[in-house]
Amino acid sequence: MTFRSDDSPDERTRAEAALRESEERRELALEAAEMGTWDYDLVGNVCHFDERARKLYNLSSGSLDHRPEGVTAVVHPDDVGPMFDEIRKASDVDGDGRYEIDYRIAQTDGSYRWLRAWGKAKFEGEGPARRAVRIVGATRDVTNEKTARALRESEERLRAFGEASQDVLWIRDAETLQWEYLTPAFETIYGVSRERALAGDNLAQWANLIVPEDRAHATSQIVRVRDGERVSFEFRIKRPSDGEIRWLRDTDFPIRDPNGKVVGIGGIGHDITKDRRAADRQEMLTAELQHRVRNILANIRSIIGRTAGNGAAISEFRDHLEGRLAALARTQSVLTRSPGEGVDLEVLVREELLAQAADEKQFTVSDSRVRLASKAAEAVTLAIHELATNAVKYGALVQPSGRIDIAWRTEPRNGVTWLVLDWIERGVSIAPDRASRQGFGTELITRRIPYELRGTGTMDLRTDGLHAEIAFPVEGAVDSLSARDDGKART
Amino acid sequence: MTSGGAKHPEFEGISVLVVDDDYYQATDAADAFAKVGATVIGPCGHVDQALASIESTAIDCAVVDLNLGFGASFDVPRCLKNRGIPLLIVTGYDESMLPPDLKGTSWLDKPVHRTALVRTMAQALRDACGALKIEHPGRTWSADQKAPALRLSTTGAQWRRHLPSGVRDGHNDRLWCGWISGSL
């Protein structure tokens, strides 16, 4: 808008009034938008700031014009370079002249505030002489938007961590002790949906999931955190979905406001069920190992006493003892080779016979597959050992015409499956003094087997050789999965 | 087998339940107690047999293994303890294995010598008698530790011979049984 000298006074007054009104409107709008304006004279290299802009840029209010050095002094060092880049870009005659930048401006207290400036360059001249002469624009404080956004982003990041975590993360209000935040891992660990967990008095509901023995301790820990302590404690829950007991370790901490008052309780719940089970199993294995070692020692003591009991010569005592300990050792090594799987009866019998250097032409062994649990395996190994030792000394294995058939079968007795093992010697001429012998082997078969395996054991010395029968219920003594009922012996 | 010859007159007429799943150890223990004059009940190698014996027989004390073939089991010691029958645990497990309600029970590690077995069982019997304090409205009666071993039994019948007449009055055997175990 230009004024011409020949305008009439009325027109001039009207035009001046319109201009005032327009400027007033612009001023009100800029004030409402909290924007300061500036005008950067590129030719004179000086920048003019209005009152609000000077406040925004923290510039002395005495002078309206500022050299660029004065401006760069208040801009954050990292933002100075980008500012000049933006000025160059806006001044580019081939560009659109737009200027827009966010930068940090130093405040009197040493802090920085974020400002966003928008501007437009004005060009003069034509062709090669064309150049930008000024950039005019406005600036606004965007610190709040910036921090709000940063906060939102950081919150979203944390939420993403929370959603992905296999631990339950939660926050309770310190006043009401109610959950304000609970991550989805809760559903996996506790077996209760988040909606249900958050409904009603959710502190009481959570406490109800804890097994009664651990409940009071767990809830008291929450109170300790409210009083400002950090705590870590372990407790068990019973999942309502499947009744499973799970172990949790909670690490809880107070969340404070800037004045130090506890306003929230934060917690991380880690499922330690697997660790606990592994530790329990380890403890159980150690206890069982200790039990086994001591029991074997007690067994050896008993075997020594019984081996010495018949008043035999020391050399015979040593031979018997060594043989029995070797049989005991063989059972142990087979049992520990595949713990929990039991011992294959055929392997057990063959190993005992071969340990006595028995000639394979003199015996047959059933090939029906049966696996014995440790307790039965131990007793049966020793029984076969005694039978084989006797056969080598007095029976079928010392006489050329002697034969042994070792056969077993499973059969029902009173509704329970029994294993029946027969040791049948043939072609043996019996020495006259043999019938009276009541040794270790006889006690083992006729007393120990009935006692330990709730079975029966007989030793019958017939005219052509010994016939021993060992029978016991297989439940607990044989792994039922592998015990087949075919009972066919290879003869 | 000569070591069990020490005289233990307190076992005369006392019944000892022997529980161990190992035949040799069970029969060795039974033999040790028989030699000192005790009446051996069992031996029992299985939990159900042991529980049935406790139920059906007057038992004064018991020696019990914790593992009866299927890992540690506390059914038998608990049953004995609930009935106030003195017991001695003989096992290959470590003592830390005991659950809280059985802590303090007499204990021997395997392998155990028969002399130690008999001596420890006798001590457990004496301890049980010494700890016994029977209270009745109007009078209090404590067992004298120097008195001959009290006859402990599940029926309570043998107890009554040692109780003052005023205490015995007005109670039948069944009531005695519950009352005595409650005050042990």
* Nearest-CA distance A485 → chain B (Å): 25
Q: Which of B1, B45, B67 comes nearest A452 by C-beta?
A: B45
Q: Which residues from B are below 8 Å from A when comparing CB atoms? A: 1, 21-28, 43, 45-46, 67, 69-72, 91-94, 97, 109-112
Better-predicted residue by pLDDT, A368 or A40: A40
A/B interface, count of CB pairs below 8 Å: 66
Residue B165, pLDDT score: 39
In this prediction, residue A172 carries a pLDDT of 94
Highest mean pLDDT among A68-82, A133-147, A334-348, A467-481: A133-147
Partner-chain contact A447 B67, CB within 8 Å: no
Q: Which of residues 363-382 of A touch B (CB under 8 A)?
A: 375
Considering only alpha carbons, which residue of chain A is nearest residue B91? A291
Cβ neighbour number for residue A298 with a 10 Å cutoff: 23
Q: Does A339 touch chain B (CB under 8 A)?
A: no
Burial category of B164 from C-beta neighbours within 10 Å (exposed 0-12, middle 13-18, buried 19 and up): exposed
How do residues A264-287 score in pLDDT, each as one tens digit? Answer: 999 999 999 999 999 988 888 888
Per-residue pLDDT of B48-97, as tens digits, reads 888 998 888 888 889 999 887 777 788 899 988 888 788 899 988 888 88
**In the predicted structure, residue B1 carries a pLDDT above the cut 50:** no
| Partners of A406 in the β-ladder | A365, A423
Q: What does the pLDDT look like over B119-178, one tens digit per residue?
A: 898 888 777 654 444 444 443 444 433 222 333 333 343 444 444 433 333 333 322 332
Q: What is the pTM of this model?
A: 0.60
* Cα of A151 to nearest chain B Cα, Å: 53
**Residue A22 to residue A36: CA distance in whole angstroms:** 17
CA distance A451 to chain B (A): 6
